[in-house]
Structure 1
Amino acid sequence: MGEMIGNIAHQWRQPLGELSALLINLQVKHEFHDLDEGYLLESIQRCMKINAFMSGTISDFQNFFKPSKEKEVFEISEACERAIAILQASLRYHGIEFSFDISEKMEVLGYPNEFAQALLNILSNAKDVLSEREISNPFIRLYLKKGYKYILIVIEDNGGGIAKEHMERIFEPYFTTKYAKQGTGIGLYMTKMIIENNMGGIITVKNTESGALFTIKLPSVPEAEVAAYM
């Protein structure tokens, strides 16, 4: 039970931060008489999406270790957009350029909420590194590639990469290079469990000339089999 609570707390930390940022922006705009109806309604919608994401986290972790849960076919870009929506305000606040490139519809078999959480962990880590290291012209790029019987989800940043001595341990439970108050070491470990244990995929990481590059490889669903899961 303690482990589950710790995992939920980790997954809630980023959404709670985003809710706080949205509310602060609303307060500032109100104080400067710059709060229009369009911005207010947009902020309310984003708060509702974040709230729904947090609510779903509880159910996801309750079912995480249940072998009886059923997989479903889902469109990978839609799950990606759920994770992106959580971070939008923070990325803008820190001046981080974000791009998401998708060329065609791609479907996989698995758990959409868990996948969104796994992706959020990687994106959130990249954002934190770019911010903490005060990188000039920071960026995060997310793109999808379709191969033969598989789909690649690639996340790249220019945050300077991962230290060589940390690379082999990056997915270990409770391993973190962050300050104690900022990280628990749960995020990337849970990401690996979701991708490899629950979705039959593979996750790898390497350094590029400017930063880190995470690659998630998931088996795709043949069109002939999609209808069977609908």
Structure 2
Amino acid sequence: MSLMPDRKTIMLVLKDVTQENQYKREKLEQERKFIEQTRMAQMGEMISMIAHQWRQPLSSISATSMNMMIKIQLGEYNLETKEGRDECENSFVGQLEKIEIYTQNLTTTINDFRNFYKPNKLPVLTSLKSVVEKSLKIIEGSLHNDNINIIYDYNFNEKIELYDSELMQVVLNIFKNAQDNFKEKGIEKPLIKITTKERSLIICDNGGGIPEEIMKNIFDPYFSTKDEKNGTGLGLYMSKTIVEDHHKGSLHVDNQEAVEGEGIGACFTIKLNLSSQSMEG
């Protein structure tokens, strides 16, 4: 019974969230550092990939210009006659057009890398196929040099709202891990298969799979089977963070029957839970 029946009673419950907020700030700062470390480590790999991408067009430009120089030095064209001058002009125009194409390829490579490192503040509407193709533009030169073949099985033709440069980072991490594994094990006829279906991206290889004893640890921060100079142990950890925290999806790996040939291979499955719409055309 209240001693003051005409008075209203208000009960306040206060909760000290200082430590909770401090924990959240520390977690965000730790994640930021992980992202920065991962991107810095990847920059070295990207520079190597640029070198692979540039090697062919630079060699072609050198060979084309050398061919033009030799023809001039050998006096291959009779510039005293109109016919000779026309022949020289036609030849040089054709060679210069080739050089222009090679130069455009160099520019395209730089733009691909620049766009990759441009952070997405807002999600964009794009397809999983587009993310894969943009990722391959960055790493295909390196994969080609290691004779790694890619096969595709696109079964999902919808656009999804996602952070494409971040998802590209995930795809590149998986490609790079497969590539390193192929080299380490000396896999003959290395192959990567890319499948899309029902908001999922599946990347499988024929590299012998992942040992069961380390399967549960590969997404842990700083866990790596590579030597110190070749791996930071952050790539797959950040990939899982990007998929789960930024895209509300899941990333897991298991061993399945190899894409081609006998044995097993690693199979990474990215499942996204985001809005989508059918692609036109």
Count of residue pairs brought into register by the alignment: 214
Deviation at 1:211, TM superposition (A): 1.2
**Match for 2:107: what amino acid?**
M
Contact persistence 1:74–1:109 (CA under 8 A): yes
Which piece of structure 1 moves more, 10-19 or 158-167?
A: 10-19
Contact 2:193 2:204 in 1 (8 A): yes
Residues 107 and 220 of structure 1 are in contact (CA less than 8 Å); yes or no, is this contact kept in structure 2? no
Q: Offset at 1:108?
A: 1.8
Secondary structure in 2 aligned to 1:177?
A: coil
**Structure 1 pair 58–97 and aligned structure 2 pair: CA distance change class (3 A):** closer
Displacement of 1:11: 2.7
Distance 1:86 1:145 in 2: 23
- Residue 187 of structure 2 corresponds to which residue in structure 1? 135
Aligned to 1:23: 54
1:14 positional shift: 2.9
Alignment partner, residue 138 of structure 2 = 86
Classify the secondary structure of the residue corresponding to 1:126.
Answer: helix
- RMSD value over aligned CA atoms? 2.8
Please, which runs of 5 or more residues in structure 1 have no aligned partner? 64-68
Choose from 168, 171, 184 the match for 2:216. Answer: 168
Q: Which amino acid aligns with 1:212?
A: A
For structure 2, list consecutive stretches of 5 or more residues without a partner in the other structure. 1-31, 69-94, 258-263
Offset at residue 222 of structure 1 (A): 4.7
Q: Identify the structure with bigger relative contact order (alpha carbons < 8 Å, sequence gap 6+).
A: 1
SS at match of 1:208: strand
Rounded to whole Å, the distance in 2 between the matches of 1:144 and 1:169 is 26
The answer to whether residue 258 in structure 2 is matched with residue 204 in structure 1 is no
In the other structure, the counterpart of 1:73 is: 125
Q: Which of 161, 164, 169 in structure 2 is aligned with 1:109?
A: 161
Match of 2:28 in 1: none
TM-aligned CA distance change 1:43 to 1:99, over 3 Å: farther
Identity %: 29
Among 162, 165, 179, the residue aligned to 2:227 = 179
Indicate which of 8, 30, 44 corresponds to 1:13: 44
**CA displacement at 1:44 relative to structure 2:** 3.9
Question: Do the aligned residues in 1 keep the contact of 2:200 with 2:270 (CA within 8 Å)?
Answer: yes
Greater CA drift, 41-50 or 26-35: 26-35
Residue deviations 1:25-58 (CA, integer Å, cap 9, x gap): 3454435968976775565444434423433454
CA drift at 1:21: 1.6
Distance 2:117 2:220 in 1: 23
TM-superposed CA distance for 1:87, in Å, is: 1.4
- Secondary structure of the residue aligned to 1:219 is coil
Q: Is the CA contact (8 Å cut-off) linking 1:73 and 1:110 kept in structure 2? A: yes
Larger Rg: 2
TM-score normalised by length of structure 1: 0.80
Q: In 1, are the aligned partners of 2:118 and 2:165 still within 8 Å (CA)?
A: no
User: Residues 116-151 of structure 1: CA distance to partner in whole angstroms, max 9, x if unpaired?
Assistant: 1111111111112112221011100111012xxxx1
Whether 1:51 aligns to 2:110 is: yes
Normalised by the length of structure 2, the TM-score is 0.67
1:219 aligns with 2:273: yes
Partner secondary structure for residue 133 of structure 2: helix
